[in-house]
Structures are given as C-alpha cells and as structure tokens.
Amino acid sequence: MLVTLKSILTRANKGKYAVGAFNVNNLEILDAVIRAAERMRSPVIVQTSEGGVHYAGMEEVVALMRVEAKKAKVPVAVHLDHGKDVALLKKAIASGYTSVMIDGSSLPYARNIAVTKDIVRRAHAKNISVEAELGAIAGIEDFVSVAERDAHFTSLEQAADFVRKTKCDALAIAVGTSHGAYKFKSEARLDIRRIREIKKKTRLPLVLHGASGISPELLKRMHKHCSVFGDCARLEGARGVSDRMIRAAIKAGINKINIDSDLRIAFTAAVREQLLKDKKTFDPRVILGSARTLMQKVVEEKMKLFGSAGKA
C-alpha cells in the first residue's frame, strides 16, 4: 500500500516504536527493502537522496518505488531524503513522492523556518507530508566542549518554536549521530535526554539520521577484499550506533530511523564475495542477487530492532 509518511509516523508515535527509512538507489536495494517489510509485516519508508535522484533519475526511481509500494501488502511511504535544492523539492512534490524532507539545517534559524514553511504549504496542498531538520547532524566526538556541542545540537526552545511555526509533520534532530560509516571512536553515545526533552516539547514524530550500526561482522567481510587505499580501506575499526543506543533513542521518542551505510556495506560485501566465489558467471542477476539477499537480511534485523515488525 502506498501511504503518506504522516500516517506511518502517527501510528509509530502512538505505539512508541520506530520505522526504518532506507536509502534506495536501484532496483535491487528497493526489492530488498520491500521483501523484508513484507516478510516482517512491517511498515517501511523508501527514500532517495538528491544524489540518488541524480544517479537513477527522479521519474525512473519514483516510478519504481511507487509500483512496488502499491503492490506491497504493507504500508510503504515514498520519501525524498535531505532535499536542499528548492527547485528539486518542488519537482519532487509534483512527481509522486508521498513525503519530502526539507533540510534547511545549514541555514540561519529564521531562514530555515521560512524555507520549511514554504515547502510545508506546497506539500500539504497535495497531501504530501514533510520532514524538516533542526541542528547540525555530526558526531558527539566532533565537539570538544559542552558549549560547542550545545551550539550544534538541536535546541529545546527552538524545536518547540520551529514545529509550531512551520507545521512540519516530523522533525530530524541532532543528538550525536553523524552520516557515514565512521561515527564514534569507541562505544556510541547519544544525547538521549535531549531526545526525551524535545519529544516532551513537540509531541511530534522525531527522526534519527546517521543511525547505521556498522556491523563488525559485515564490515570485516567487506573489508577483507578492500584496496589498501581509499574510502574502503579507511573504514577499518569504524563504529556505528549500537543496538542498545537505538533502543534507548526509540524509548525517548524517535519514530523514524534512517539507514544507508549499513546497506552499502552489505551490498559491497556480497558483491565482492560473489565475484570471487563464482568466477565462471558474468550474469548481473547472479552477482546483484547475492547483494539483494544480504541487504534483505540486514533490513529484517533493523525492523525487529526498531519494533516495527508485526505492526503492518
């Protein structure tokens, strides 16, 4: 079923669980996510970043997501992740997304409110939900002092004011996570108290970005055949957000959890292993099929962890 983000997150907010939002760039990733959702009987959000749209084409990737969402036996929202380019956001609102994220987090506060309000007005007129962002999403260890941290993390006072003025449907907050595979040098630490306080002030579905767990087992499998240079090589010892922290964040009020890096690692691990294991084939369906299977397993585990399994 194709549904709005708002309908999925209103239920999650009431039921005190979170729904996974998975970044999709091609058919295999999309299939893996939808198959997992059906198997787990879980609602799910499939999303494309602006980079994903440039890679796959907006019309093409939206058509794929909508077809699979409509056929799915579980609720599926089709979402634009981190929309920053207003022209692209307007195109997304006209192109079949059931929700968009307006990421005005790098703008001055008043400008973030103005831009978000404008997107909310345009989107709501078409029954499209809006996620907004307040605060700078970067790791807790990026800040040397508490004062510096407070200046970057989502402010409690601003959160209440922002939600009231913009009328957004969900709010992404900065509480210590960061994008990519390297988040922490040791055990993950998030500002759980801040999540709880923002929830109390806004009562809105809250969103956790940069939430990949970076499974040591999958990292090892991917890393085994890595080059000794470059991005992949640099991932040795990377740490993500622990399951314990994810549970605490959900308990404090998180209802949407964004995952991209964990799927990238699973995809690359499976493709590298498959190419080395079976040097006789040159059939893309065999090579990419192995990635689809492993990504599905990763998504199923997330749905159990987030508490959305069985909630469709």
Strands 206-208 and 2-3 turn out to be unpaired
Q: Which is nearer to ligand 13P, 143 or 182 (CB)?
A: 182
- Rounded to the nearest whole angstrom, what is the least distance from the CB of residue 145 to ligand G3H in the complex? 26
Mark residues 77-116: x for contact with ligand G3H by CB under 6 A, - for none. -----x----------------------------------
> CB of 61: closest distance to ligand 13P in angstroms?
15
- The 199-238 contact track toward ligand G3H, x by CB under 6 A, reads ----------------------------------------
Q: How far, rounded to the nearest angstrom, does the alpha carbon of residue 88 sit from its chain's CA centroid?
A: 19
CB nearer to ligand 13P: pick between 28 and 262: 262
To Zn ion, the closest distance from the beta carbon of 261 in angstroms equals: 10
Question: Min. distance of Cβ 157 from ligand 13P in angstroms?
Answer: 25
Binding partner of 211, given ligand G3H, Zn ion, ligand 13P, none, CB within 5-8 angstroms per partner class: ligand 13P
Which one of residues 199, 209, 221, 292 is an interface residue with Zn ion (CB under 5 A)? Answer: 209
d(CA 295, CA 273): 14
Q: Which is nearer to ligand 13P, 262 or 300 (CB)?
A: 262
Cα pseudo-dihedral 195, 196, 197, 203, rounded to 10: 90
Q: Least distance in Å: CB of 49 to ligand G3H?
A: 3
How far apart CA 130 and CA 118 sit, in angstroms, is 11
- Judged by CB under 6 A, the residue of 23, 155, 274, 308 near ligand G3H is 23
Shortest CA distance to 4 belongs to which of 36, 43, 39? 43
- Which residue of this chain has its Cβ atom nearest to Zn ion in the complex? 209
Residues of the shown chain interacting with ligand 13P in the complex, contacts defined by CB under 6 A? 23, 81-82, 179-180, 209-212, 258-262
Active site residue 278: no
79 touching Zn ion, by CB under 5 A: no
| Shortest reach from residue 240's CB to ligand G3H, in Å | 13
Q: Does 179 bind ligand G3H (CB under 6 A)?
A: yes
| Binding span for ligand G3H by CB under 6 A among 4-12, 47-55, 105-113, 240-248 | 47-55
Residues 6+ apart with CB under 8 A from 112: 104, 105, 132, 134, 162
Active-site residue (options: 31, 81, 103, 262) = 81
* Contact pattern for Zn ion over residues 218 through 257, marking x by CB under 5 A: ----------------------------------------
Which C-beta is closer to ligand G3H: that of 82 or that of 149? 82
Q: Mapped to the 3 state alphabet, what secondary structure does the chain carry?
A: CEECHHHHHHHHHHHCCCEEEEECCCHHHHHHHHHHHHHHCCCEEEEECHHHHHHHCHHHHHHHHHHHHHHCCCCEEEEEEEECCHHHHHHHHCCCCCEEEECCCCCCHHHHHHHHHHHHHHHHCCCCEEEEEECCCCCHHHCCCHHHHHHHCCCHHHHHHHHHHHCCCEEEECCCCCCCCCCECCCCCCCHHHHHHHHHHHCCCEEECCCCCCCHHHHHHHHCCCCCCHHHHCCCCCECCCHHHHHHHHHHCEEEEEECHHHHHHHHHHHHHHHHHCCCCCCHHHHHHHHHHHHHHHHHHHHHHHCCCCCC
Binding residues for Zn ion, rule: CB under 5 A, are 209, 258
Which sequence positions are flagged as catalytic?
Answer: 81
Binding residues for ligand G3H, rule: CB under 6 A, are 23, 49, 51-52, 82, 179, 260
